[in-house]
Amino acid sequence: MNYSFEPIGVIRSPYREKFGIPRQPSLVSAARVTLELLPPYDHPDCVRGLADFSHVWIHFVFHETLARGWQPLVRPPRLGGNAKVGVFASRSTHRPNPIGLSLVELASVNTAGRVMLELAGADLLDGTPVLDIKPYIPFVESRPEARGGFVDGPPPRLSVAWSDNALRQLAELAPPPGFAELVEQVLAQDPRPAYQNDPGRVYGVMLYCYNVRFAIDGEHALVLEILRENQ
């Protein structure tokens, strides 16, 4: 049996490439994402009652990586990038059916014009196709006693500092509100691949149309410069 699904919406996100996106939702609360519903699902009736829920499950397609297929074993970054676990014991994007599931805060529901949901703390790439939205039901789905396998708590966070150059550029470029907080939360997650430790290396993460250039030494990230790019 085959099944086919069509997107009910699309994500508009500050994350313009995979590098830098947190590995799970809620780790970067400053990330504000819009979910635009597509016709015929963009009718206010489809979201009637949804605003009474604080959180929603977003079912989506890992559209950026689906062409690379899947493997039975994957190497989760939380295990250092070498140890392998089964694909179904992981949250890898490379899955037989490349479907993602993220629990996010529902900041607002806008039904004036095209129906849009404002989501906080999402781990979603710009342009992500959304298959479904479901309200989070705390008494059923909250399980504080649950075992977390190899993911037994939030990852350690880096401290983040700004160079004088980056601070000057931040003031000159006037990026969207909350941009500096977004940069700090993204870098605090340590976006580097698990096996990399090269204090001399300069990385770039795209947030909105800004290339944020940074380096990491030990537990400290330093924002070096912010470059506006044409996208």
Residue 108 CB, nearest approach to ligand SAM (Å)? 21
Looking at beta carbons only, is 20 or 175 nearer to ligand SAM? 20
Q: Which residues of 177-186 are buried (b: 16+ CB within 10 A; e: fewer)?
A: eebbebbbbb
Which of 163, 98, 120 has its CA nearest to residue 22?
120
Does 31 help bind ligand SAM (rule: CB under 6 A)?
Answer: no
Does 12 help bind ligand SAM (rule: CB under 6 A)?
Answer: no
75, 84, 91, 134: residue in contact with ligand SAM (rule CB under 6 A): 91
> Which window, 44-52, 93-101, 112-120, 198-206, contacts ligand SAM (CB under 6 A)?
93-101
The C-alpha angle 216, 220, 225, rounded to 5 degrees, equals 55
Provide the 3-class DSSP secondary structure of residue 95: coil
Looking at beta carbons only, is 89 or 101 nearer to ligand SAM? 101
Residues 172 and 212: beta-carbon distance below 8 Å: no
Residues between 51 and 80 that touch ligand SAM (CB under 6 A): 62-65
Burial label, 231 (beta-carbon count in 10 A; 0-12, 13-18, 19+): exposed
> Which window, 107-115, 119-127, 180-188, 217-225, contacts ligand SAM (CB under 6 A)?
119-127
Can you give the binding site for ligand SAM, defined by CB under 6 A?
18, 21-25, 62-65, 91, 93, 100-102, 123-125, 128
